[in-house]
Structure 1
Amino acid sequence: MLDESAQTDCTVCCCTLTNKILMVVFMILLIFAILFGNSVTLTVVLGTRHFKTPQGYLKASLAVADLAVGIFVVPLSVYAEVSLMITDYKPEWTMNNSLTTPFHPCNFIGPIFAGCTLVSITTIFLLTIERSIAVLKPLHKESVITRKRTTILIVLSWVGSFFLAVSPILYSNDIVLEYNSCSRMCNYALRASEFPTQACNILLLFPAFDFTLLGATVVINILSLSTIRQHSKRRKDLAETDCQNITRPTFSDVKAAKTIGTLTLAFTASFTPIAVFVVGNVIGNEWCNFSFFAFWILTTNSCWNVIIYSVRDQKFRHRAQQLLISSQIKNVSKT
C-alpha cells in the first residue's frame, strides 16, 4: 500500500495548474472517445443482421464492459480532480479508505473497474476460441459455435469476473478500496503496513488469472495464425480441389482471426503495466508515477476496439460510415 507521502508526491506530473488542466481535459476526451466508439460498435453489431452472430455477441459484450468504464470509472476521477482544482479541497472520500467513510464511492467504482477489466480479458479469450474453431475446424463451426452457447458463456464470464473482482474485500479484512492519489482511480490497497501474506496472495490472483488467460489467448492466436499461413502457402503451391475449398477457412474467418489477434496484442500491451505494478506494490515498491501511467494506459484501451475493428474489418467500417452519414442527414433535415 502506498503511504500518504508517496501518494501526494508532486512527481505525478500534476503539480502545476496547467498540468492539472491537461490531465482533466485528457480524462474528459477519453470519456467521449469511450462512449462514442463503443456506442458505434453496439449500434453496428446489434443493428445489422450480418453481425448478429456469436462473434458479434462477444464483441457487444466487450463494448458494454468498455462503456461501463466510460460511464462510471473515468467520470469519478474527473469529479475528484475538478473539485480539487476549483475549490483547492479534496472530497473527504478521496482521503479516507472505505472503512472510515459511511458511503465510499470506491466501494462501487472499484469493483466495476476490476470486473470490467476481467470481463474484457475473458471475452477476448472467448473470441479467440471462437475464431480458432472457425479456422482449425471450419466444418464444425456451425454446430459447435451457437448463439445459445455463446450467450451462456457471456453470462458466465460476467458473473465470474465480478465475483473475482469483489473477492479481495470479501475474503480479507486487510484489503480495502480507496481513491489513490497517484493513479487518480479507486484501487485495492493493503490496509496493514506489514503486507500480510494472505492479503498479498489474494491481490496476486488478479495478475495470475489475467496472465493465464492472456497467455492461453496468445498461444491459441499463434496456432490459428500459423494455420492461416499454411493455407495461404497451399494456395500458392497447389491447385486446390473443390473439396479443399470447402474444408479450408473462409476469407471472412481469416480476416476475423487476424482482427482478434490484433485485439489480443493491444490488450496485452495495455494490461502488462498494471500487472507489473500490482506485483511491485505487493512486494513493497512505491511506484507513484508508474501507477498513474499504468492505470490510464489500461483505461485508454476501452476506446481502441472500435478503431481496430474499423481498420481490420471493411464491412464494419462501411456499416459504421453508413450510420454516421445517415445520422448527419437526419440532423440536417431537422434543422
Structure 2
Amino acid sequence: MLLSVITTCGNLLVIISVLYFQQLHTPTNYLIVSLAVADLFVGIIVFPFSMAFSYSSCLYYEDLFCKVRGFCDITLSTTSIMHLCCISIDRYYAVCQPLTYRTKINHCVVVNMIVVSWGVSVLLAISITIAGLNNDKCVERCFIDVLIFNNIGPIFSFYLPVIIMLCIYLKIFLVAQKQARSIQNTTCQSKKSGATVSKNERKASKTLAIVLGVFLLFWTPYFLCTSVLPFSNDPVPVSVIETLAWLALSNSMLNPFIYAFFYSWFRSAFRMIISGKIFTGDYTNSKLS
C-alpha cells in the first residue's frame, strides 16, 4: 500500500507540474508526462492487482483475474521501459547534437514516440497474454507459446531497450567527456576552470550511473529469472518470482525522483504544489528556478 501511495503521488506531482506551469511545456517534458502516466497506472492498477495476487496466488478467478493482471502488468511496465528508452534518445540529441536538437526533437516527433511506445506495449502484452492462454490449454508444453511467453517477450520488452539505452548513454558519456576536455583546452587553464570542468564531469557521471544503475538493479533480476524458467528442471518458488516482480515494479516509484528531482524547476514546481500556493492565485507563467 505504501509503494502504491508513493508511486501515485510522486507521478501525480510530475503530471500536474508539466500541465500547469507554462515553462514546462516542452517536448522533452511531454515524454516525462507520458512516462509518469504509465507509472501512475502502475501505482493505481498493477500494485493493487499484485497485492491481490500475492494473497490469493490466483486461486480464484484464474481465467479472468490473472490474465487481466498480467496484461496490465506487461503493458504498463513495457510502456515505462519504452519511455525511458525514448528519453535516452532525447538526451542523446541534446548532448551530442545540440545544434540540430530543436529540429530533430520537436512536438511531432515526441507525439510519435509516445504513440509508438504505448502501441508497441499494448501489442506485445496482447501477444504474450494470448501465448499464455494457449500454453494453459496445452496438454503438453507448447514450444512456440512458451518461447513467446518467456523469451521473445522479455527480449522486446526489456533486453533490446536496455541494449539501446546502454549504447546511447555510453555515447553521451564519451561525448560529454570529449566536450569537457575541449572546453578545458580552449579556455584559460586556471584552477577555477579546471575545477568547474571536473565538477561537471563528476556530475554527469553520477547522473548516468544512477539512471542506469537503478534501472538495471530493479529490472534485471526479474527478467533473468523469467528467461531461465523454461530451461530449468527445478521450479522457482512463487514467492521468489513475486518478490522479484515487486522489486521491478518499484522502479515506477523512483522514476519521478530520477527524472524530475534532478531538475531545479521541477523541485520548485513541486514545492508550490505541495504548499498549495497554486490554489491561491495564477502562477502558470511563474519563472521556475
What TM-score bracket applies, with the shorter chain setting the length?
A: 0.7 to 0.9
Residues 257 and 140 (structure 1 numbering): CA distance in 2 closer, same or farther, change over 3 Å? farther
Secondary structure (helix, strand or coil) at the match of 2:250 reads helix
Mapping for residues 192-231 of structure 1, pairs under 5 Å:
192=138, 194-203=140-149, 204-209=151-156, 210-231=158-179
* Equivalent residue number for residue 37 of structure 1: 10
Question: Partners of 1:61 and 1:323 in 2: how far apart?
Answer: 19
Pick from 44, 59, 62 the counterpart of residue 97 of structure 1. Answer: 62
Unmatched 5+ stretches in structure 1? 1-27, 85-89, 99-103, 177-190, 241-251, 331-335
Residues 120 and 80 (structure 1 numbering): CA distance in 2 closer, same or farther, change over 3 Å? closer
Letter paired with 1:121: I
CA contact (8 A) 1:309 1:317 kept: no
* Equivalent residue number for residue 115 of structure 1: 75
Aligned residues: 264
Question: Partners of 2:53 and 2:216 in 1: how far apart?
Answer: 29
Q: Deviations over 1:256-309 (max 9, x none)?
A: 997576434322221101111111222234222421221000111111012223
Q: 1:237: how far off?
A: 2.1
Residues 78 and 292 (structure 1 numbering): CA distance in 2 closer, same or farther, change over 3 Å? closer
CA contact (8 A) 1:69 1:116 kept: yes
Letter paired with 1:94: L
TM-score (norm 2): 0.81
Unmatched 5+ stretches in structure 2? 189-199, 281-289
CA contact (8 A) 1:132 1:221 kept: yes
Q: 1:194: how far off?
A: 4.5
Q: 1:35: how far off?
A: 0.7
CA contact (8 A) 2:132 2:146 kept: no
* Equivalent residue number for residue 267 of structure 2: 317
Secondary structure (helix, strand or coil) at the match of 1:94 reads coil
Q: 1:162: how far off?
A: 0.8
CA contact (8 A) 1:195 1:282 kept: no
Question: Partners of 1:171 and 1:222 in 2: how far apart?
Answer: 35
Question: Partners of 2:5 and 2:174 in 1: how far apart?
Answer: 38
| Alignment partner of 1:133 is 2:93 | yes
TM-score (norm 1): 0.71
Mapping for residues 1-335 of structure 1, pairs under 5 Å:
28-79=1-52, 90=56, 94-95=59-60, 97-98=62-63, 104-170=64-130, 173-176=133-136, 192=138, 194-203=140-149, 204-209=151-156, 210-239=158-187, 262-284=210-232, 285-288=234-237, 289-326=239-276
Question: Partners of 2:140 and 2:68 in 1: how far apart?
Answer: 27
CA contact (8 A) 1:37 1:306 kept: yes
Counting helix residues as a fraction of each chain, which structure ranks higher?
2
Secondary structure (helix, strand or coil) at the match of 1:312 reads coil
CA contact (8 A) 2:218 2:247 kept: yes
Letter paired with 2:144: Q
Q: 1:40: how far off?
A: 0.6
Question: Partners of 2:94 and 2:171 in 1: how far apart?
Answer: 12
Question: Partners of 2:84 and 2:208 in 1: how far apart?
Answer: 7
